[in-house]
Amino acid sequence: MEWQQELKDRMSGMLLLDRMNEVRELDPLHAFALDDWLCRRTGQGGPSICHLWRHPQAFILGMRDSRLPHADEARGWLEAGGWRTAVRHSGGAAVPLDLGVVNVSLIMPKPSVNHMHYHNDFELMYRFIQEALRMTGEQVDKGEIGGAYCPGDYDLSIGGLKFCGIAQRRQTHAFIVQAFVVAEGSGAERAKLVRSFYERAAGAARADEVGNVSEYPLVEAGSTASLEELAGLGPQAGQAFARQLRRIVSEGQTEAGLSSAAERLAMPTAEELERDIAALRARYASVSH
């Protein structure tokens, strides 16, 4: 199929940055800052990168969420419950991250500075995840799921239940497509947590009379499920899913592409990353936490 060939072509010189098991307690913005740094490098001639990562317990807000009238109080409630909070600069709304959520970042150069084909880039991530789940025999659909948290046109679902959301961050010469994949545990419990956050953060803000969300998503527990629940991958669904992602990347890689990519790879120093984390927090957080 045409999209399968495109996916393979994109992987020919892509490097895999696998941080699935680097789960020590890190700043929630660590992975986002790392993605940003690598994206700048990719835009300067560095290689494309597939970044896999998890966080032990973080609640990531969208910029609009951070502006809700009682967002600070709601963040305090989350942090009292052990959730580290941060505001992300890519699109999308609030998502909880834990060890049962696999995060996937595809970092790639733009074909040109004026490249505006956003949907093609979202489509690539959709096809990547769809291919990774092909062995389950389940049909992966795209399209907004009513009642799901972080709703969007590229909600990914199985049997009408969302398990993945996709966001994008674009720089001048490169871009990042980020997906959170609810792999293990209860999707409903995560949805309940997000709903509780919005109830505290929004206060009197409500949907308008025709049911369109004016201030925040109206999250329903029955909208979301995990791959463990949906696809028969068992309690280690996150690792099983990540293995399939690694397979797809490795099958697309070529010796020449890998050699060229390795020569162009650079990683940030700890000091550079800390500086970028501080800059993200100062720019996007409503308050310091």
As annotated, the active-site residues are 150
> Contact at 8 Å (CB) between 78 and 85?
yes
| Long-range contact pairs involving 268-276 (C-beta distance under 8 Å, separation at least 24) | 268/34, 268/37, 268/38, 272/37, 273/30, 273/33, 273/34, 273/37, 276/33, 276/36, 276/37
DSSP state of 224: B
> Contact at 8 Å (CB) between 223 and 146?
yes
Sign, CA dihedral 182-179-256-1, equals positive
DSSP state of 248: H
Closest CA to 200 of 214, 187, 216, 212: 216
| Lookup: tokens for 142 | 């795209």
Closest CA to 202 of 51, 75, 70: 70
Pair type for strands 101-109 and 174-182: antiparallel
Q: Is 213 exposed, middle or buried (0-12, 13-18, 19+ CB in 10 A)?
A: middle
Interior angle at CA 242, CA 254 and CA 45, nearest 5 = 40
Residue 38 to residue 238: CA distance in whole angstroms = 24
Amino acid at 117: H
